[in-house]
Structure 1
Amino acid sequence: MADQIQSERSADDMVAEADTGARNPSAAWQARLIIGTCIAWSVFQLYIASKLPGVLAQGTGMSIFANIVAQARFVHLAFAIMLATLAFPLFKSSPRDRIPAYDWVLVILGVGTCLYLVVFRFEIADRPGLWSTSDIAISAIGMVVLFISVYRSLGLPLVIIAGIFVSFAFFGGYSEWARNITNYGGASFGKALGHYWMQTEGVFGVALGVSTTMIFLFVLFGAILDRAGGGNWFIKVAVALLGALRGGPAKASVLSSMMTGMISGSSIANTVTTGTFTIPLMKRIGFPAEKAGAVEVASSTNGQLTPPVMGAAAFLMVEYVNIPYIDVIKHAFLPAVISYIALLYIVHLESLKMGLEGLKKPGRKINVLMILILFLSGVIFMGICTYLIIGLRMVLEPFMAETVYGAVVLLAVAYIGLVWVASRYPDVAMDDPNAPVPAAPRLTPTLIGGFYFALPIFALVWNLMVRTDTLERLSPALSAFWATMFMIVIALTHRPLKALFRGEGIGGSALDGWRDFVGGLILGARNMIGIGVATGAAGIIVGTISLTGAHQVIGQVIETIAGGNLMVLLILVAILSLILGMGLPTTANYIVVSSLMAPVIVSVGAQSGLIVPLIAVHMFVFYFGILADDTPPVGLAAYAAAAISRGDPIMTGVQGFAYDIRTALLPFLFIFNTDLLLIDVGPLKAVMVFFISLTAMLLFAAATQGYFIAKSRWYETVALLVIAFMLFRPDFLLDQVSEKYATAEGPAALTLMSEAETGKQVRLQVEGPDFDTGEIRPTTIALPALSGDTDTAFSDQGLTVLEEDGKLLLDEPFAGTPHFETLGKEYDFYGDTPVTITRVQVENDRFPKELFFIPALLLLGGIVMIQRPRATQPAF
C-alpha cells in the first residue's frame, strides 16, 4: 500500500510538472493569487462566450463590454503567461515553495505586453505596418517573455523550433538558396517583430484564437465533469461492464480511457486519472508492470483520437482545413472506434497468452454476447431517443420559437429525475484497487448511480451535431458554453439533491458541490496553461511561414529526400511528427507539422497521380503527433504510467508503442483509402466499411501479437497480414488485374471527357513551369464531368482551355475559383513554356473491388481450421 501511495504521488507530481505547474507556495497569499488567477481566467472565458458582453454594452452604453470580446486573444495569452510564470519554476533549482522576485518582473512584463495591445488598440490600428519605437520594444519584450513561458511550462524543444523560425525570418534573406525557393529577401527587425506581435498573423493568430474561443471551454467542461465525479463514474462503469471478463481490468482501462479521453486534452492526465485505479488491478490479475502501464498508455494517448474534443485538434482542423466541425467529427469517428476495438482485442489476446482471468463479480456475470447486445441496444435506444427529441422539438417549435427555455425545462426534468433515481443507490465511490479481494461492481447500480453525468455530454453532442429544418446546429464554442453551464449546475446541485431525496442534511453536500465547482474552475485553467502558451508559440511558426514562405524550404528538403515518392514522404513526415512530438504537446506538434508538411504531401501526391484530401493529411499528422506521447525515450505518458506500475518507463513506452502499431497503420491506410474517413460514403456503405475495416484491423492486431485462436506460426502470421491487406486495400488488387482509368491525350482527351457521365470524376494531369523554380513539373486535379459539355465543365471550375497544335493549353484560373490555390499560385502562366493538360483520365467501369473480400475470407477460414485443433483454451 505504501508503494502504491508513493507511486500515485510520483504520478501526480509528473502531471503537475507537465500540465498544471509544480509550484506550491507556502505563503498563503501567493497560493491564493495563483488560485484566484485560475478562477478569474475560467470566469473570463465563460463571460466572453456568453451573451453578457453584448447585453451589458447595450444596457450601459459602454462599448468596453463588447470590445473585450474582440480583444479576448490578448487577455487569454496574458492569463496563460501569468500562470505559466507563477505556477512553473523556471529551473529545476528554482524555489517551489515561493515565487522569486524575477518571476514577478516577468509577470508584469508578460501581462503588460499583452494588455498594451488592448489599451492602445486604436493607435495601433492607425499605423498598420508603421510601428513606433514603443511598439517594437513591446513586441521584443513580449516575444522574450513568451519564449520563457514556453520553456518553463513545455520545455526546450518548442523554444528551439520557434527560435529557428524566428532566425529564418531575420537571416533567411542572406541565403541565396532560400531566396531562390521562397523569393524572400529578409525582413527588418521592426517589420518581423511587428508581424509576430502587433498583428493577428503571428502569436495572436488562428491557433491562439481557437484556444481562446473553443479549446478552453472544452477543457473547462472536462475539468468540472471530472471534479464533480464524472471521471470516476466512467471508470466504475467500465470496470462493472468489462472487469469480470478475461483480463477484465485491462479492458476496463481501455474503455474508461476512451470515455475520459473524449473530453480530456491531455494524455498524461488521462493516464493518471484512470491508471491510478486500473494499473494496480491489472497487476493483481497477472499483468507484468510494464504491460499494465503500456495498456494504460496506449489507451490514454488514443483518447485524443476520440471525438468530440480530440485533444483540441478538431477545432484547429476546422480553421486550417476550412470545413464544418461536424465533418471533422464524421471523418475522425470511424478510425477512432476501430482503433479502440482493436486495442480491446490486443488486450484480450495478451490475456489469452498469459492465461489470465477477470475480477470476481457479485451477481450474474456479463458475457461477451451480452455486452454486444447491450451495445447494439444502446445504439438503437439512442437513435430512437434522438428522433423522438427531434420530433418533440419540432412539435414545440411554435411555442419555443428561438428560445432555449423549452430545452432547459426538458433537461431539468431529466436531470432531477435521474438524480432521484440515483439517490436510491449508494454513491459511486472509487474502490481501493489494492483491496485483498478486488471485485468488479455490479453494472446496474453503478450505471444508474451516476447516469446523470451523461446528460451534459448528450447536450454537448446534441448541440454540435443535431440539426432539423427549423433548428440549426450551434457553433462548437456555444455548444461547449451551454454544456459547461449545465455541468456547473450539476456540480453544484447533484450532491445536495441526492441528500435531499434521501432525507439527509444538505449543508455539507452543498459545500462539497461548491468545492467541486471551484476545483473545476482551477483545474480547467491550470490544464490550459500549456495549451495557451503553446498555441501562441505555434503562431510564431505559422507567422514565419506567412512572412517568408519557410515551409517551401523545409518542404523541398524533405521532398528531395523522398525523391518524389509519396510513401517515402509519408514515412519521413511520420518520423518528423514522432520526433517533434517527443518534446511538444500534441496540439503544438499538430500545428507545426501540418503547417509545414500538409501542402507538401498534397503536392507530391498530386504529382504522383493521387489526389489526397486535405483532411486526410491533417489527420495523418495528428495521429503521429499523438503516438509521440508513448514513444521512447521521452514519452511522458509512459513515465507517468511507470510511476504508478513501478515498472521500467522505457520498456513501458516500447510496449505501449507496440500496442499502438495498429494506430500507426491507420493513417497510411486512410491516405490511400479515404473510405475509412467516410469521404463520399453513404450510410449503407459506411456500415460495410466499418465491419470490413474492423475485421482487417483485428486480424492485423492478431498478426502483431503472434496469437489468433492459438499461437501463430510464422506463415500463419504472414497469411493474417495478407488477409488484412486484402480487406483494407481491395482497390490495390483490382488495379493489378484491371486498368482503373481510360486515358487520352490532346484533342482526344476532350472527347473522352465529353463522353463521361455527368458528375463522374475526371482527372486532369497538368504540366508546366513551377512559379518559383521554373522547372517543369506535373500535378493532378479533379473535376466533375458534364456529359457532352466540356466547356461548361471547365468554366464551372474557373478554367479556360484552348486547343493549339494538338495540345490543350491552360490559362490561369480565375481568383476565387476551386483550382486557383492549386494551380494559379503554383505555375507560371506567363512564361515562355505554356501550362498544358497532358492527359485526361476517366475511371473505367470495373467489377466491384469488394469481390476480393471473398478469397480473403476463404483464406481466413483456412487459418481458423488450421489453428483450431491447437487451441488450448476457450477464445473468450
Structure 2
Amino acid sequence: MSTTATARHGQKLADMLMKIAALAAIVLSAFQIWQGMTAELAAPVFRPVHLSWILVLVFLTKPLIKESHSFPLYLAARCVDFALSAATIWATWHIIQFDYDDISFLLDGLKGPDQLAGLITIVALLEATRRSVGMVMVVIAAVFITYALFGDALPSGIASKGFELEELIRFHIFSTNGVYGAPLAIAAGVVFIFVLFGAFLQVTGAGQFFIDIAFAVAGKYRGGPAKASVIASAALGSISGSAIANTVTTGSLTIPMMKKLGYKPEQAAGIEAAASTGGQIMPPVMGAGAFVMAQFTGIPYSEILLVSIAPAILYFACTLLYVHLMACKLGLEGMDVKAGVREVLKNGWHFLAPLILVTALLMMSYSPELVGIAGCVAVLVSALCRKSSRVSLRQVLEGMKEGALMALPISVACATAGIVVGVVGQTGIGLQFTQFLLALSGGHLWSVLLLIGLAAVVLGMGLPVTAAYIVLSVMAVPALNDFGLPILTAHMIVFWLSQTSNVTPPIALAAFAGAGIANASPMRSAVQAFKLAQGFFLIPAMMAFSGLILGDGETLHFVIAIATTAALIIAFAGGIEGRLIHPLNKPFRLVLLALALIMLFMDDSVRLAALTAVIGVVIINSKVNQQKTEMSH
C-alpha cells in the first residue's frame, strides 16, 4: 500500500471516529441535562456512568497515536483504544450492579470480578488523565496510591498503616470516598452544566457581545484595548471555566489590537493572561473551583459568591491599574471606537438576560444544576430575540458537542484528584502534612502562606487549577485553621493561590498561550503576567491578615480591609512601576513599598495611618509635577 493510500485510510478512520465521538458527546450533554432536571439516577449509578462516558470519549478523541503514523500502526493503536473503552464499559456495568446493601464485602472483602472491575477503572482513569491532563497528575496519583499500599515501609514520621490492594479498590471505587467522591460529583453535576452554558454563550454570539461591550466602555481611554481585554476577560472568564481557553478566545482579538496600539508583544500576552486568569475568581460562576469549595465547606454557594465580589473587583482594579501605568509609561493613547455603549447594548442587550437570571437564581440558593440548565435555556431563548443571533438546530448540537468535549479534562482531573483526596482520608497523611507545615513555618502565618503559595505554583505546573485546588485544600486548609482562620477564609486563600500557576514562571500556561498569539517570548510573557497578576498574591494575604472576607458583625472591619487593600495595591504598583499620576523618584518608591508592607501586616489603626500616607503621596505626586509643568511654561 502506498504512503498516500495509507494516509488516506488513516484519515478516513480518524474522521469516522470523530463523528462517532461527536454523537456520543451530544448524547452525553442530553443525558446530563436530563439527570440535572430529574435526579433520576442515584450517586452510585450516575457518577460511574458519567465517568465511563467521559473516559470513552477521551479514548475516542485523544488516540494513543495520531493518524499521521503508518496505517497498520495507527489501526493497532486504535484497537488498544477500543479495548480500553470496552473494558471501561464492562467495569462500569459491573460497578453499578454492585449490591451495596449486602455488607458481606465489608467482612470478607471484594470478590475477584469486583476487584478486576475496580482495577480496570483506576488504570483506565490514569491513562485518560495522561492523555487529557498530562503525565504530572498521573505521577501524583501514582505516588499517593503507592503511599497507601506501602506506607508501612516508610519512616515513622510519615508512615501509614499500609493497605492491601483489595482495601484500596474497595475504598476508592466501591464507595463515595475516592474516584467517585466529592470532586467528581461536582464535575459531573454543576460544572458540566455550566461548561455547557458557556458553550451555548459562544455559539449564540454572546461571547462576542461581551467583547464588544468591553471595547465600547474602555476602548477610547488610554491603553484602551488592554483595558477592554481586562473587562472582557472578567465577563467571559467566569463562565469559560478555563484561563487558557479564555486567553485564546478573547486574546485572538485583543492581543493584535494591543500590539497595534504600541504595547510590546510580551506585555500584550501578559495582560491577556492575567486578565483571563482573573476570570476564574469572578462571580457569578467562578470556574469550577468555587462549586467544589461549596461541597468541601458545606457553605451555600450563594454565600461564597457574595463574599467573592469585593476581592474579585479589587483584583481587576489591580490589573487595570498596572495596564494604565504601562500605557502612561509607553505614551499610549486610546483607540477609535466605532460603536458606542448604547449601540452595542441596542444590538445585544438580550444576552445580558441569561447572566442576570443565573446570578439571581444562585443568590436565591436554587440548586446550581437547575440554575445552570435554566441558564442554558435562557441563552437559547434570548438568542431568538434578534434575527442576527438566532441559532439553528445544527448550532445547538454543536454547542452540546463542544460543551461535552470541554468538560473532558475537568471530569478526568477531578476523578483523579479524588484518588488523592481519598488517600489523604484513608491514611491520615493530611494531619502529618499539617504538622510538617507548622513546624517548617516556625509558627508564623506569613511563612505558612508563603509555603502554600510555593506548593500551589509547583502543583499548578502539571495540574489544572481545579485539581490543584482540590489537592492543596485537603492538605493545607487544616494548617490555616490551626492559625484561627475561618474555614471559608482558609479555602478562599487556597483557591486564589491555586490560580497563580497560570501566570507564574517557569511554567505559566495562560501566559504561554497568550505568547503564542502575540508571537512573543513565552518566558518574558510569563514575567509580565506575573507582574500584572500581583493581586493573586496580595489579596489572599489580606484575606489572612485583615477582614477582607465579610463575616457576621464585621462590617466596619470589612470596609477598612477593602480601603486598605486598595491602598496597598496602589502603593505596591507605584513602587514597582515608578509612577502614579506622574513619575516617582526613588525615595517615594521606597516609601510606597514600605507603606504596602505596613498595611499588609499591621492592625487596622496602623493600616488607616498608612492609607492616609498613601493618599498624601498621591497628592504630593500630583502637585509637585503640576508645579513643574507650570514652571516650564
* 1:451 matched residue in structure 2: 349
Alignment of 1:350-369 (within 5 A): 350-361=326-337
User: Which digits, 9 at most, give the CA deviation of each residue in 1:462-486, with x for residues without a partner?
Assistant: 11114xxxxxx31222211212222
Residue 359 of structure 1 aligns with an amino acid whose one-letter code is M
Q: How does 1:810-821 map to 2 (within 5 A)?
A: none
1:189 deviates by 1.4
Q: 2:375 aligns with which of 480, 483, 487?
A: 483
Residue 620 (1) aligns with residue 493 (2) = yes
**Structure 1 residue 71: Cα displacement:** 1.8
Deviation at 1:43, TM superposition (A): 0.7
State the distance in 2 between where 1:686 and 1:565 align: 23
Aligned residue for 1:584, secondary structure, equals coil
Relative to 1, partners in 2 of residues 1:853 and 1:123: Cα closer, same or farther, differing over 3 Å?
A: closer
Match of 1:138 in 2: 117
> In structure 2, what is the equivalent of residue 643 of structure 1?
516
Corresponding residue of 2:387: 498
Instruction: Give the superposition deviation at 1:89.
Output: 3.2
Q: Partner residue of 1:161?
A: 140
Q: Contact 1:257/1:299 (CA < 8 Å) preserved in 2? A: yes
Q: Give 1:729 deviation, angstroms.
A: 5.4
**1:780 maps to what in 2?**
none
Matched, 1:556 2:435: yes
Moved more, 199-208 or 555-564: 555-564
Tell me how far apart the structure 1 counterparts of residues 563 and 604 of structure 2 sit (CA, whole Å). Answer: 19
Query: Partner letter of residue 339 of structure 2?
Result: P
The yes-or-no answer on 1:577 pairing with 2:456 is yes
State the distance in 1 between where 2:97 and 2:62 align: 28
Per the alignment, do residues 240 and 721 of structure 1 end up closer, same or farther by CA in structure 2, a change over 3 Å counting? Answer: same
Do the aligned partners of residues 154 and 331 (structure 1) sit closer, same or farther apart at CA in structure 2, a change above 3 Å counting? same
Contact 1:311 1:586 in 2 (8 A): no
The residue that corresponds to 1:857 in the other structure is: 615
Bigger strand fraction: 1
* Deviation of the 1:452 alpha carbon: 0.6
Gaps of 5+ in 1: 1-22, 54-65, 362-439, 467-472, 500-508, 606-610, 735-848
The CA distance in 2 between the partners of 1:688 and 1:50, in whole Å, is: 43
Change (3 A) 1:455 1:355: same
Residue identity in the other structure for 1:104: F
Q: Cα offset for 1:731?
A: 1.1
Letter in 2 for 1:590: Y
1:322 paired residue number: 298
**Aligned amino acid, residue 671 of structure 1:** A
* Aligned counterpart for 1:273 among listed residues 233, 246, 249: 249
Determine if contact 2:271/2:532 at 8 Å carries over to the other structure: yes
Identify the residue that residue 516 of structure 1 maps to in structure 2: 395
What SS is found at the alignment partner of 1:450?
Answer: helix
Structure 1 residues 486 and 69: CA distance shift in structure 2, 3 A: farther
Q: Distance in 1 between matches of 2:263 and 2:398?
A: 34
- Is residue 581–residue 621 contact of structure 2 (8 Å, CA) maintained in 1? no
Paired residues of 2:223 and 2:334 also in contact (CA < 8 A):
yes
Cα offset for 1:582?
A: 1.0
CA distance in 2, matches of 1:228, 1:291: 31
What residue is the counterpart of 1:41 in the other structure? 28
Q: Does the alignment pair 1:100 with 2:74?
A: no
Query: Could you tell me how far 1:441 is from its partner in structure 2?
Result: 2.5
Summarize the Cα distance change of 1:24–1:552 in structure 2 as closer, same or farther, 3 Å threshold: farther
Distance 1:703 1:850, change over 3 A: closer
Q: Deviations over 1:683-733 (max 9, x none)?
A: 676556434432332332222222112222221112222344455555166
What is the alpha-carbon distance in structure 1 between the residues aligned to residue 43 and residue 435 of structure 2? 40
Superposed CA offset, 1:1-25 (max 9, x none):
xxxxxxxxxxxxxxxxxxxxxx987
Q: By how many angstroms is 1:148 displaced?
A: 0.4
SS of residue paired to 1:477: helix
Report the secondary structure of 1:323's partner residue: coil
Aligned residue for 2:200?
224
Q: What residue in structure 2 maps to residue 118 of structure 1?
A: 96
Greater share of residues in helix? 2
Whichever residue aligns with residue 88 of structure 1, its letter is K
Mean Cα displacement is larger for which, 725-734 or 664-673? 725-734
- Code of the aligned partner of 1:582: M
Residue 843 of structure 1 corresponds to which residue in structure 2? none
How far off its partner does 1:123 sit? 7.2
Q: How far apart, in 2, do the equivalents of 1:80 and 1:324 lie?
A: 28
Where does residue 697 of structure 1 map in the other structure? 569
Deviates more, 1:278-287 or 1:319-328: 319-328
* CA distance, structure 1, for counterparts of residue 598 and residue 628 of structure 2: 26
Q: Distance in 1 between matches of 2:104 and 2:352?
A: 50
1:505 corresponds to which residue? none
> 1:91 and 1:171 mapped to 2: Cα distance?
34
> 1:455-470 counterparts in 2 under 5 A?
455-466=353-364
The amino acid across from 1:650 in the alignment is M
Q: Flag the 1:67–1:526 CA change in 2: closer, same or farther, 3 A.
A: closer
Distance 1:252 1:722 in 2: 32
Structure 1 residues 565 and 199, CA gap change in structure 2 (3 angstroms): same
Contact 1:730-1:852 at 8 Å conserved across structures: no
Give 1:226 deviation, angstroms: 1.4
1:303-360 deviation line (CA, Å, top 9, x unaligned) = 1010122221111111112211122112221111001012111111101000011111
Structure 1 position 80 matched with structure 2 position 54: yes
Work out the number of aligned pairs and report it: 616
* 8 A Cα contact 1:240 1:446, kept in partner: yes
Indicate how the Cα distance of structure 1 residues 150 and 27 shifts in structure 2: closer, same or farther if over 3 A, else same. Answer: closer
Amino acid in structure 2 at the alignment position of 1:173: D
The RMSD of aligned alpha carbons is 2.5
For the residue of structure 1 that corresponds to 2:81, the secondary structure is helix
Query: Which 5+ residue runs of structure 2 have no aligned equivalent?
Result: 1-9
Q: Write the deviation string for residues 82-131 of structure 1: whole angstroms up to 9, x where unpaired.
A: 11111123357986998711111111122332232223345776634621
CA distance in 2, matches of 1:459, 1:627: 30
Contact 1:624–1:664 (CA under 8 A) maintained in structure 2: yes
**SS of aligned partner of 2:366:** coil
- Greater CA radius of gyration, 1 or 2? 1
Per the alignment, residue 6 of structure 2 pairs with none
Work out the CA distance in 2 between the residues paired with 1:25 and 1:543: 42
Asked whether the equivalents of residues 18 and 60 of structure 2 are also in contact (C-alpha less than 8 Å), the reply is: no
Change (3 A) 1:681 1:660: farther
- Shift of the alpha carbon at 1:259? 0.4
**SS of equivalent to 1:677:** coil
Q: Identify if the C-alpha distance between structure 1 residues 682 and 616 changes in structure 2 by more than 3 Å, giving closer, same or farther.
A: closer
2:590 aligns to what? Answer: 718
Q: Structure 1 counterpart of 2:567, which letter?
A: T
**Residue 262 of structure 2 corresponds to which residue in structure 1?**
286
Q: Which amino acid aligns with 2:18?
A: A
Distance 1:481 1:522 in 2: 16
Paired AA for residue 148 in structure 1: E
CA contact (8 A) 1:295 1:656 kept: yes
Partner secondary structure for residue 177 of structure 1? coil
Match of 2:415 among 520, 528, 536: 536
Is the Cα–Cα contact under 8 Å of residues 311 and 539 in structure 2 kept in the other structure? Answer: yes
Contact kept, 8 Å, 2:325 with 2:577, in 1: the verdict is: yes
Aligned to 1:310: 286
Aligned-partner SS, 1:41:
helix
Q: Decide which of 650, 659, 662 is 2:535's aligned counterpart.
A: 662
* Cα shift at 1:636: 1.8
- Per the alignment, residue 335 of structure 1 pairs with 311
Report what 1:506 is aligned to.
none
Inter-partner Cα distance in structure 1 for 2:225 and 2:82? 47
* One-letter identity of the residue aligned with 2:92: C
- Which structure 2 residues correspond to residues 757-796 of structure 1 after superposition, within 5 A? none
Q: Cα offset for 1:515?
A: 2.8
Distance 2:106 2:521 in 1: 55
Mapped partners of 1:281, 1:255: distance in 2: 15
Matches within 5 A, 1:419-458: 440-458=338-356
**Alpha-carbon distance in 2 for matches of 1:319, 1:548:** 22
- The one-letter code matched in structure 2 to 1:642 is A
